[in-house]
């Protein structure tokens, strides 16, 4: 039996004196897509940042892709984590292609793979357009192209469906399926529960920083 990709045990996060996450326990198996729901300010994004190893827990233990949180081990597994944040991680003065080429160069992936990824998300015709002249939907598509390019083992999607029309929303399902089929895992935050339910295997809910198991 393969080991879990994520284990959190009693993880709490305190920021500016306030407890944002309380005693979180979570286990995510390979091939699993987990939906994370909750109201604004409930701690969803904070939990995603902990899973992305970008935020150290104040207490508790856990592992992500086998690396212990709050240890230097996370540096080796970070390139296997993909994060699509609420705000696109794009340089606005560069073109969509240049942004993807930059990621490809830093990851040691050929530029042609970046062009392919843009084509896969339907942006090949707009690849030479500067990000500042792109719509929010195009920027989100470019973010998904970045995920296809880096092919993460753990994919974290914050507000996955924001800015995407129903047709483009299929991208979320497509990228999720790609990652889980490879034995990776996906954690998907969305306010659009109906759209998310069809993609995920399991749902969890956060209320006031505490995790509550729910069913799809």
Partner 1 sequence: MIRHIAILFRAHLRDERRAGEVTLVIVPFGMVALLVVPMAIGIDTPLLDRIGPGLFWVVLLLFGTLVSQRQSASLSESRRDTLTLLGVDPAARFAAAAMAGTVLLTLFAVVAGTVTFMLYDPEIANPAWLGAILPLTCAGLAMVGTIATAVTSGPGARSSLAPLLVVPVSVPLLLAAAQATEGLRASAGILRWLLLLCVVDVILALAGVLTARPLEES
Residues that bind partner 1 (CB under 8 A): 52, 54, 56, 75, 78-79, 81-83, 85-91, 93-94, 98, 102-103, 105-107, 130, 146, 150
- Indicate the residue among 107 and 119 with the shorter CB distance to partner 1: 107
- Indicate the residue among 68 and 170 with the shorter CB distance to partner 1: 68
Beta bridge pairs of residue 11: 24
> Please, what is the minimum distance in Å from the beta carbon of residue 73 to partner 1?
13
> Please, what is the minimum distance in Å from the beta carbon of residue 130 to partner 1?
7
Distance CA 186, CA 204 (A): 13
> Please, what is the minimum distance in Å from the beta carbon of residue 85 to partner 1?
4
- Indicate the residue among 14 and 193 with the shorter CB distance to partner 1: 14
Indicate left, alpha or beta for 148 from its phi (over 0: left) and psi (-120 to 50: alpha).
Answer: alpha
Distance CA 31, CA 176 (A): 10
In the chain, % helix, strand, coil (3-state, to 5) comes to 35, 30, 35
> Please, what is the minimum distance in Å from the beta carbon of residue 131 to partner 1?
10
- Indicate the residue among 22 and 146 with the shorter CB distance to partner 1: 146
> Please, what is the minimum distance in Å from the beta carbon of residue 151 to partner 1?
13
Contact 132, 94 (CB under 8 A): no
Distance CA 79, CA 29 (A): 19
- Indicate the residue among 107 and 210 with the shorter CB distance to partner 1: 107
Residue 80, both tokens: 């296997």
**Judging by beta carbons within 10 Å of its beta carbon (0-12, 13-18, 19+), is residue 161 exposed, middle or buried?**
buried
- Indicate the residue among 81 and 138 with the shorter CB distance to partner 1: 81
- With CA atoms as reference, report the closest residue to 64 among 6, 24, 25: 6
> Please, what is the minimum distance in Å from the beta carbon of residue 93 to partner 1?
4
Which secondary-structure segment (H or E) carries 180?
A: helix 166-181
């Amino acid at each position: 039996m393969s080991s879990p990709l994520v284990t959190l045990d009693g993880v709490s996060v305190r920021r500016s004196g306030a407890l944002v996450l309380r005693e979180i326990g979570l286990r995510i198996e390979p091939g699993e897509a987990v939906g994370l729901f909750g109201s604004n300010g409930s701690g969803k994004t904070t939990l995603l940042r902990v899973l992305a190893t970008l935020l150290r827990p104040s207490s508790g233990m856990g592992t992500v892709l086998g690396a212990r949180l709050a240890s230097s081990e996370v540096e080796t597994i970070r390139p296997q984590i993909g994060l699509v944040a609420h705000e696109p991680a794009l340089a606005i003065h560069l073109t969509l292609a240049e942004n993807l080429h930059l990621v490809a160069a830093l990851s040691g992936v050929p530029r042609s793979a970046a062009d392919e990824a843009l084509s896969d998300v339907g942006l090949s015709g707009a690849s030479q357009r500067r990000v500042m002249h792109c719509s929010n939907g195009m920027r989100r598509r470019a973010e998904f192209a970045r995920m296809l390019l880096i092919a993460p083992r753990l994919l974290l999607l914050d507000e996955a469906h924001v800015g995407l029309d129903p047709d483009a929303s299929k991208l979320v399902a497509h990228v999720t399926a790609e990652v889980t089929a490879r034995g990776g895992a996906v954690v998907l935050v969305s306010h659009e529960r109906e759209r998310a339910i069809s993609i995920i295997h399991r749902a969890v809910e956060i209320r006031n920083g505490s995790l509550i198991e729910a069913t799809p």
